[in-house]
Structure 1
Amino acid sequence: MPEQQRNVSDVIVDRLSRWGVSRAYGYSGDGINGVLEAIRASDGKVAFVQARHEENAAFMAVGEAKYAGGVGVAISTQGPGAVHLLNGLYDAKLDRVPVVALIGQQHRSVLGSGYMQEIDLRTLFSDVASHYIAEITSPEQVPMVIDRAFRAALASRSPAVVIVPHDVQSEPAPEQPHEHGIVPSAVTFDRPIVRAAEERIAAAAELLMAARRPALLVGKGAAGAVQEVEALATHLGAGVVTSLLGKPFVDERLPFAAGTMGHLGTTASAQVLAECDALLIVGSNDPWTEFYPAPGQARTVQIDIDPQMIGNRSPVEVGLVGDAAATLVALQDAIAADPDRAWTDRVRDTVERWRRISAERAEVAADAINPEAAMRALNSHLPENAQVALDVGSVVYWYARQLVLPRGVPAHVSGTLASVGCGIPYGLAAKLTAPDRPVAVLSGDGGMQMTGLAEIVTVAARWREWADPRFVIAVFDNRDLAEVSWEQREMEGAPRFEASQSLPAVPYDEYARLLGLAGERLSSADDIDAAWRRAWEADRPCVLSIRTDPAIPLLPPLAAAAKKIDQMRSALEAEDEEGEPQAARARRLLEAYIDIEERHGGTEVLSS
């Protein structure tokens, strides 16, 4: 039998492989079947990972890029499959992650006829893929379009979309003649070495040397500059605060590490930002602008590889466009060390007091289990080589305030889009990129019910392929969309809306066991430590269903947000009057948390 002629789909898959793609995430459908057949025939050159839903496939592609670097790839058919990809692609856009989406389309001959599943894909993806979107209408385009999609995704750190009509996928592979109308292309991308100008370095150094109370705000742009951040902070005697996405890149065991900033952040971070007289922002675009230094309080220097980010969240006096690590080294070389001992002592004292606050919060008695205690207990059991995937919701607060990541342990979340449901898809991508590393997925019941229950099926289908089967899913089960419940109280001054906030009970542990995984249900604080140990000792993925108390308050740091407490109190009083079952307990717990913070000086801020 003669060898089958190569077609456009074969060229696409070959090009993916040459760009270093080892797996693509997606779901099948007639509009993309040509590409899927080429993947099948590639003998593992590019693996196909079937998700339960295209949204989750897109989250997995984002996770691939976040955990492993490089470009994540998502695949879907036209129509509903394409629509489903949007949420995950927006996650990539807002967190600035390179992803390429390959999307099928109906035959060229029927486009414009209102054919089945025909939608205007260019319009649909025009915003999320604003840096590059192309439709392949002839075989000769294929290498050029794929190459440009990857280069655009890498250069802009955002999604690129390639639309491939069904009939084009089976066209013969192009010859690529050297003639007019044919654009040659190559698989190549080089990142530029960007260095801040010397005069800007000198200006920034002068500003920082004049400060007596310097602080650093560290974001995910400092991922390649962990040691340089620590060295400069020590050199300056600065306090270090992180964005949510920057948390994995600062060792929070350091005496000057004040933790995550913002509404979900630590008391220490709010105090350091409220007291500093100079702020160095390193690779951060954190949106919690009300927690930045007040206008006129602090002079600001910002380092970012992207000039568009300079001054994006806070007024900046000196912007340094360049690689974070190289710029930090240059800054340190230009700064004569003269740290203010009173400030370094103040930062260390603030950090120590925060540690006492967080420890006492975890000890507050709750109905069933205090979620802060459950998260804090993980510190004694998280493997040193683990990877952490975080879903969105109140669990992010407990992660930010109670979990101290070992050096080198990555943790990722849908940070800027803040999309519920990213947890298990991210965790799967982490595991597939490094099957020999254990994974922890930390999720609320909202995320589990939105996408997690479906993707546990994927975990059950794939875990036997993993070199290390440990994949621990902790479900913080409070049967409430707790973050929104507390937002309603705080931001609207409105009582919790039962019909919108209550979640049905689900036996997550039983579901796991039904699928052949390990599962355990916890309802007592006495069981937490042993349960974490058993989960990590299990010979297969394990689901811990942790019954937690929705009345535990999502209290913002009082140093920066004390006035919001009155609205919380007012809303809880209204709930109590309406007979809301958890209102009285929530009121008691709110006052207990406030008392802990006040006793440890959580409201203290030095005047400038």
Structure 2
Amino acid sequence: MSRNVSEQLLEILIEAGVTQVFGVIGDALNAFAQAIHKHDEVEWIGVRHEGNASYAAFAQAELSGNLAVCAGTVGPGALHLINGLYNAKRERSPVLAVTGQVPVSQIGTGFHQEVDLTKIYDDVCDFQAVIRSPEEAPRLIQRAIREALSNGSVSRIELPADIAEMACEGDDYLQPLFRSRASLVPDDAQVQQLAELIRTHQGKRISILAGAGCRLARDEVIALADKLQAPITHSLRACDIFDHDCPHVAGLTGLIGNPSGYHAVMNTDLLLMLGTDFPYTEYLPHDCTVVQIDSSLPRIGNRVGVDLGIHADVKASLQQLLPQVESQGASEFHDKLTGSFNDWRREMRQAADPSRDHEPLHPQIFTRFINEHASDDAIFVVDTGTITVWASRYISFHSDRRMIGSFNHGSMAVGLPAALGAQLLFPQREVWALVGDGAFTMAMQDWLTIANLGLPIKMLVLHNSSLDLVKLEMEVAGIVPEKDVLAIDVPDLADYSRWCGAEGVRVEHAGDIEAAIQRAKQSSGPFLIDAVVTNGELSMPPKITMEQAVGMAESKAKQAWMALSGDQEQWNNIKEELAAYFDSSDD
């Protein structure tokens, strides 16, 4: 029996190792979905919104490094995929989007639901396989897969409704999928130059700023830090590479960083930037020697002036460098910063003590207990917002723990759908989704999908009925936060979870927090914790600029004046912030 183009596409995806496709079915995808139905090797995961499909595919690609697939039909369905695909692009995760299209004879006529998807997808995709005949389909499909895998990028296959059902051709072009196992090796002379730079800085302050490009080079980075007695500051994406308990770690820098991480980068004589394109130039030094090692040449010197740039993999570079570097003696700079980091951790632990029983609750108490009870190989999906602050400060992503999110794209509502993708990819591992109420309610329709599938995802929702990070952004800009633009009307989410067929508990008292987290951990199905928390908790950066201080002071002065003038909303906001700040621990 002859196969059609959709069946041929599916066979190529199976050869590439694809086992699941996330999407919403529709007319142009009907033949593709029917092909999936005939094969046990691939499962169609129907979601309630295509945007959640692309976030789920991102999670699988990010965690595995393998190709993940999402799908959306014709114009409207294909457009919904965009945001999650942008997230995959920014995190450099290999994702393939299969999109339907109107019949070829109708393209360009303004047909019902027709959209010029090539133009729309031009920025997000490295390659678009726009199929206009069965003969070209296999070559274009295979190239789309190779481009996504080799570049860690997004590709798209456009499959018109009529082509999808035509008899396939071009089997002669089908071939095994070859994957690169190559390492980008540095130039010997540049490695020697770096070794000489290190020798000339012996006895001076040397720091490491490490990013996600160090994932395969963790041991080498630690070995280098040990030889140089250099503190390691890391990016947010590298939290699960250089965890809180890792030797030589001084913490995070940037807007959600801590003081020791900030000072390690800003007060050094020699900064080694390893596998990072850290974007916040105000948190990078401009008066020291900078070396950058990166596998992407355009990223070298992208953020700060570089004295030496080495275009190579971090692991290969450090393997060549380490034998050429002598061990340094004790470093007061290193010891002071790593000691300061440990002091900061103790302060953070006190701030998250359950004896701080102010109500609404302090959000960091929840992340502290999750850190204590989550398994050593748990996957944490962290959404965008103040939850990112509490997760990065209170959870140590040690052992085989992983953390993913929208850390470069910065999109809300990644948490729930990415947890869906992660749990389906790793059914035996704990998956914790840490989200705010704004992010959860943006994607909450697919909690029903998770409940229907019976996936044991543990969902923490920080419920403060406010877009909290936006409030802080407004205040540092000198703007008075107004309830009518920041407030969100959120129902009892534990009730909602139970309505969906999952478990749920609403937590309003500090004494109930740990028990709720233990219940979630022990649950064999989806479990949602509706954490009623204060919106008065301040998450301050490690260094407050004059502009930020002036903006915050201006906003607070305006709020105080409005409160004194009888504005009850502003008075309530000030009272809550003061109550949250002065709530002390007995620890």
Which TM class, normalised by the smaller chain length? over 0.9
Query: Residue 534 of structure 2 contacts residue 580 of structure 2 at CA under 8 Å; is this kept in 1?
Result: no
2:135 counterpart of 1:148: no
Contact 2:290–2:306 (CA under 8 A) maintained in structure 1: yes
Q: Which runs of 5+ in 1 are unaligned?
A: 178-182, 464-468, 597-608
1:360-439, aligned counterparts within 5 Å? 360-363=350-353, 366-439=358-431
4+ residue runs over 6 A deviation: none
Q: Distance in 1 between matches of 2:522 and 2:171?
A: 56
Matched with 1:354 is: 344
Question: How far apart in 2 are the matches of 1:254 and 1:74?
Answer: 36
1:43-82 superposed matches below 5 A:
44-82=40-78
Asked if 1:172 corresponds to 2:182, the answer is no
Q: CA deviation at 1:535?
A: 1.4
Question: 1:584 is matched with which residue: 567, 574, 580?
Answer: 574
Rounded to whole Å, the distance in 1 between the matches of 2:86 and 2:316 is 30
Counterpart in the other structure of 1:265: 257
Residues of 1 paired with 2:400 and 2:549: CA distance? 37
Residue 133 of structure 1 aligns to a residue whose secondary structure is strand
Within-5 A mapping of 1:229-248: 229-248=221-240
103, 110, 128: which is aligned to 2:106? 110
1:161 aligns with 2:156: yes
TM-superposed CA distance for 1:176, in Å, is 4.8
Contact 2:65 2:93 survives alignment (8 Å): no
Question: Are residues 1:203 and 2:200 paired?
Answer: no
Matched, 1:119 2:102: no
Cα pair 1:572 1:586 within 8 Å, conserved: no
Contact 1:136 1:164 in 2 (8 A): yes
Match of 1:15 in 2: 12
The separation in 2 between residues aligned to 1:93 and 1:205, in whole angstroms, is: 34
Supply the distance in 1 between the matched residues of 2:336 and 2:545 (Cα, whole angstroms).
21
Equivalent residue of 1:217, what SS?
strand
Q: 1:17 to 1:239 in 2, by over 3 A?
A: same
Is contact 1:553–1:589 with CA below 8 Å preserved after alignment? no
Report the Cα offset of residue 543 of structure 1: 0.4
Q: Of 496, 513, 516, which aligns to 1:528?
A: 513
Mean alpha-carbon deviation: is it higher for 373-382 or for 576-585?
576-585
CA distances 1:424-448 after superposition (whole Å, capped 9, x unpaired) = 1111111111101111000000110
Write the distance in 2 (CA, Å) between the matches of 1:530 and 1:237: 42
2:273 equivalent to 1:281: yes
Q: 2:128 aligns with which of 133, 146, 151?
A: 133
Call closer, same or farther: CA 1:447–1:526 in 2, change over 3 Å. Answer: same
Unaligned stretches of 5+ residues in structure 2: none
* SS in structure 2 at match of 1:245: helix
Q: CA deviation at 1:361?
A: 3.1
Moved more, 76-85 or 224-233: 224-233
Kindly provide the amino acid, as one letter, of the partner of residue 263 in structure 1.
Answer: L
Alpha-carbon contact 1:106-1:166 (below 8 Å) kept: yes
1:461 and 2:452 equivalent? Answer: yes
TM-score, length-scaled by structure 2: 0.94
Q: Equivalent of 1:28, from 15, 19, 25?
A: 25
| 258-267 or 237-246, which deviates more | 258-267
Q: CA deviation at 1:339?
A: 3.9
Q: Deviations over 1:49-83 (max 9, x none)?
A: 11111111011111110112211111110110011
Other structure's SS at 2:413 match: coil
CA-CA distance at 1:256 after TM superposition: 2.5
- AA of the residue aligned to 1:588: L
Give a deviation string over 1:34-62, Cα, whole Å, max 9, x none.
111111112x2221111111111011111
**Letter of the 1:552 counterpart:** E
More displaced stretch, 145-154 vs 441-450: 145-154
- Residue type at the aligned position of 1:479: S
Aligned length in residues:
575
User: What SS does structure 2 have at the residue aligned with 1:411?
Assistant: strand
* Shift in CA distance, 14/176, structure 1 to aligned 2, threshold 3 Å: closer
Amino acid at match of 1:481: L
> Secondary structure of 2:208's match?
strand
User: What is the CA distance between 1:343 and its match in structure 2?
Assistant: 1.7
Distance 2:329 2:479 in 1: 47
| 1:261-309 superposed Cα distances (whole Å, 9 cap, x missing partner) | 210112221121122211111211221221112x11x211112111111
CA change 1:351–1:195 in 2 (3 A) is same
TM-score of the pair, normalised by structure 1: 0.91
- Higher mean Cα deviation, 106-115 or 220-229? 220-229
- Residue of structure 2 equivalent to 1:84: 80
Match of 2:552 in 1: 568
Rounded to whole Å, the distance in 2 between the matches of 1:592 and 1:274 is 31
| CA distance in structure 1 between the partners assigned to 2:358 and 2:389 by the alignment | 17
**Alignment correspondent of 1:504:** 489
Cα distance in 2, alignment partners of residues 542 and 561 from structure 1: 41
CA distance 1:581–1:52, shift in 2 (3 Å): farther
Map of 2:460 onto structure 1: 474
The answer to whether the Cα contact below 8 Å between 2:96 and 2:154 also exists between their aligned partners in 1 is yes
Task: Describe the shift of the 1:367–1:590 C-alpha distance in structure 2 as closer, same or farther (beyond 3 A).
Answer: closer
Shift of 1:158: 1.3
Say which SS state the counterpart of residue 225 (structure 1) adopts. Answer: helix
Q: Is the 8 A contact 1:255 1:351 kept in 2?
A: no
The structural deviation recorded for 1:150 is 1.1
